[in-house]
Structure 1
Amino acid sequence: MKTKRRTLIVLLVFVLAAGAALALLTHANQKAEQAASEAEDGSIPLLDVTTATLESVSIQYGGETLTLRPSDDGWTLTEDPAYHLDDSACNTIRTALAGMKAKRQLEAQPGEDYGFDAPQLVVNVSAAGESTTLTVGAENPVTGDVYVRREGGDAVYTVDAARFRCMEQTKAELFGAFSPAGITVSNIEAVRYTLQSGETIKLQSVSQPTEADSTTYQTVWQLTDEPDAALDTGKTDALLAALAGYVTGQDTAADLSACGFDAPLVTAEVTTADGTVTLTYAIGTNGYYMMVSGDSSVYTVDGQTVQALCLTARQLKADT
Structure 2
Amino acid sequence: MMKNWRKVIVLAVVLAVFIAAFIFLNNINNIKDPNDPNDPADTGTEEKLLDIDRQEIKSITLKHGHEEFIFIKEEIEVESEVTDDEGQTKTVTEKKEIWTNPDIELDEAKINNIALSAELSTITRVIDEAPEDLSIYGLDRPIVVTLLMKDGTKHSIEVGGQTPTQDNYYVRRGGDKTVYTISKYRGDMLSYSKFDIMKKSLYEKDEVAVEDITALTFTRNGEKIFDSVFDVATSEWKITWPLNAKADMMEFPKFLQWLSGVTVSEFIEENASDLGQYGLEEPSYVFDFVLDGKQYGIRLGSKTDTHYYAKMNDNPMVFTVSSSNLNFVDLSLVDLIERFIYIPNIADVEKLVIEMDGRVDTLLIYANNEDKSKEEFFINGRKMETDNEVSLFRGYYQGAIGLMADRLDFEAKPEGQAEIRLTYTMKEAKPDKIVVVELIPTNDGYGYYLVKNNEYSGFVMGKRQLDKDHGIRFLYEKLVNGLTESASE
Q: Fold-level match, TM-score > 0.5?
A: yes
Aligned to 1:122: 286
2:243–2:458: 8 Å Cα contact kept in structure 1?
no
Q: 2:353 aligns with which of 177, 183, 192?
A: 192
1:238–1:308: 8 Å Cα contact kept in structure 2?
no
Which amino acid counterpart does residue 453 of structure 2 have in structure 1? S
- Aligned pairs for 1:145-156 within 5 A: 145-156=307-318
How many Å separate the matches in 1 of 2:341 and 2:237? Answer: 17
1:147–1:159: 8 Å Cα contact kept in structure 2?
yes
Aligned to 1:58: 217
Q: For residues 96 and 293 of structure 1, do their structure 2 counterparts lie closer, same or farther at Cα, with a shift above 3 Å needed? A: same
Counting matched residue pairs gives 268
Q: Counterpart of 1:162 in 2: which secondary structure?
A: coil
Give TM-score scaled by structure 1 length.
Answer: 0.63
Q: For residues 299 and 315 of structure 1, do their structure 2 counterparts lie closer, same or farther at Cα, with a shift above 3 Å needed? A: farther
Q: Deviations 1:33-66 (Å, cap 9, x if unpaired)?
A: xx9xxxxxx9612233733543423221153342
1:263 and 2:384 aligned: no
Q: Counterpart of 1:318 in 2: which secondary structure?
A: helix
RMSD over aligned CA atoms reads 4.5
Q: Deviations 1:69-93 (Å, cap 9, x if unpaired)?
A: 2231322334346232225544332
Q: 1:281 aligns with which of 439, 457, 479?
A: 439
Give TM-score scaled by structure 2 length.
Answer: 0.44
Task: Give the superposition deviation at 1:149.
Answer: 2.2
Q: Counterpart of 1:98 in 2: which secondary structure?
A: helix
How many Å separate the matches in 2 of 1:106 and 1:145? Answer: 12
Structure 2: tracts of 5 or more residues without a match: 1-115, 122-184, 190-197, 368-372
Q: For residues 178 and 115 of structure 1, do their structure 2 counterparts lie closer, same or farther at Cα, with a shift above 3 Å needed? A: same
How many Å separate the matches in 2 of 1:112 and 1:298? Answer: 36
How many Å separate the matches in 1 of 2:383 and 2:330? Answer: 54
Q: Which gives a bigger RCO, structure 1 or 2 (Cα 8 Å, sep 6+)?
A: 1
Q: Deviations 1:140-194 (Å, cap 9, x if unpaired)?
A: 22xx12111234344321211134433443322211244624242x665544333
How many Å separate the matches in 1 of 2:265 and 2:408? Answer: 40
After TM superposition, what 4+ stretches of structure 1 lie above 6 angstroms from structure 2? Answer: 109-112, 313-317
Task: Give the superposition deviation at 1:102.
Answer: 0.6
How many Å separate the matches in 2 of 1:125 and 1:217? Answer: 49
Task: Give the superposition deviation at 1:245.
Answer: 2.0
1:239 and 2:405 aligned: no
2:288–2:295: 8 Å Cα contact kept in structure 1?
yes
Task: Give the superposition deviation at 1:136.
Answer: 0.8
Q: For residues 254 and 183 of structure 1, do their structure 2 counterparts lie closer, same or farther at Cα, with a shift above 3 Å needed? A: farther
How many Å separate the matches in 2 of 1:127 and 1:217? Answer: 48
1:43–1:103: 8 Å Cα contact kept in structure 2?
no
Which structure's CA Rg is the greater one?
2
How many Å separate the matches in 2 of 1:264 and 1:256? Answer: 13
Aligned to 1:86: 248
- Aligned pairs for 1:1-320 within 5 A: 44-48=200-204, 50-51=208-209, 52-62=211-221, 63-72=223-232, 73=234, 74-80=236-242, 82-98=244-260, 100-107=262-269, 113-141=277-305, 144-178=306-340, 180-184=342-346, 188-195=349-356, 197=358, 199-204=359-364, 219=376, 221-224=378-381, 233=389, 236-245=393-402, 247-248=404-405, 253=410, 255-257=412-414, 262-274=416-428, 276-284=434-442, 285=444, 286-293=446-453, 295-297=455-457, 299-301=459-461, 302-304=465-467, 305-308=471-474, 318=484
Quick one: percent identity of the two aligned structures?
A: 12
Task: Give the superposition deviation at 1:217.
Answer: 7.6
